[in-house]
Amino acid sequence: MGFYSKYIFPRMLDWMLGPPEMGKFRISALEAARGRTLEIGFGTGLNLAFYPDGVTSLTVIDTENMLPDRVNRRIAACKFPVTKMQLDAQGRLPFEDHSFDTVVSTLTLCTIPDTAAAMAEIHRVLKPDGHFIFWEHGRSDDPATAHKQDLFNPLQKIVGVGCNMNRRIDSIIREGGFEITRLDRFLMPKSPRLLAEMYRGIAVPI
């Protein structure tokens, strides 16, 4: 891991994804979370303050251990127990089948290299009546914008440490064995168009 991805990128991420106006998007994405919950691609813990009361416990996983002091302070302020684990979502997760009521991914399916493997694990660990909550950026429905996303994606992968701007998030979720029961498509205000194409919703395992 280079200097940029280890020291600069985590601070940049926390600064870019942490402003108060992002909070309302996190609230609306997370409002359906309940029970025993797993969050993949936890980052710097920016969702923690926005989980609703129905969440009884939270397990969070990430391949990185970003800004640990800051993140530990955020965890300490939580009203439910939080277990933090450094794990790769696309590998076999150390959880029994059907162990979570909710799995959450925010701004993470863009970065996981093998999304099919990660979705298979999410499917396995979710209870049959559980749900997968997502709030992601991805590929535009507008062909001209999607073309530009394809063009700039190699650069984005460098600057965003593996982040892709051109993934069809709804297809990734459906191909993972889920039915999408709610899908909001919108442009993130005040963001560059190529990164502003949002997919927010809920999916259930089939």
Ligand X SMILES: C[S@@+](CC[C@H](N)C(=O)[O-])C[C@H]1O[C@@H](n2cnc3c(N)ncnc32)[C@H](O)[C@@H]1O
Q: What tokens does 76 get?
A: 């300490």
Strands, E, within 5-142: which ranges?
Answer: 35-40, 55-62, 82-86, 100-106, 126-137
Q: 37, 59, 102, 111: which one contacts ligand X (CB under 6 A)?
A: 111
Cβ-count burial of 29 within 10 angstroms (0-12 exposed, 13-18 middle, 19+ buried)? buried
Strands, E, within the chain: which ranges?
Answer: 35-40, 55-62, 82-86, 100-106, 126-137, 178-187, 197-205
How many residues of this chain interact with ligand X, rule: CB under 6 A?
19
CB closer to ligand X, 40 vs 198 = 40
CB closer to ligand X, 43 vs 130 = 43
Nearest to 137 by CA among 89, 175, 105: 105
The stretch near ligand X (CB under 6 A) out of 37-45, 94-102, 138-146, 196-204 is: 37-45
Angle at CA of residue 18, ends 71 and 15, nearest 5°:
90
Residue number with the smallest Cβ distance to ligand X? 43
**Contact set for ligand X, span 40-99 (CB under 6 A):** 40-41, 43, 46-47, 61-64, 88-90
| Residue window 131-170: x/- pattern of binding to ligand X, with contact defined by CB under 6 A | ----------------------------------------
The stretch near ligand X (CB under 6 A) out of 38-46, 126-134, 145-153, 185-193 is: 38-46
Q: 37, 102, 108, 156: which one contacts ligand X (CB under 6 A)?
A: 108
The stretch near ligand X (CB under 6 A) out of 95-103, 108-116, 123-131, 141-149 is: 108-116
Nearest to 105 by CA among 80, 148, 138, 146: 138
In whole angstroms, the minimum distance from the beta carbon of 53 to ligand X comes to 20
Q: Is 31 in the site for ligand X (CB under 6 A)?
A: no
What whole-number distance in Å separates Cα of residue 87 and Cα of residue 29?
A: 23
- Cβ count near 35 (within 10 Å): 13
CB closer to ligand X, 77 vs 206 = 77
Binding interface with ligand X (CB under 6 A): 13, 17, 40-41, 43, 46-47, 61-64, 88-90, 106-108, 111-112
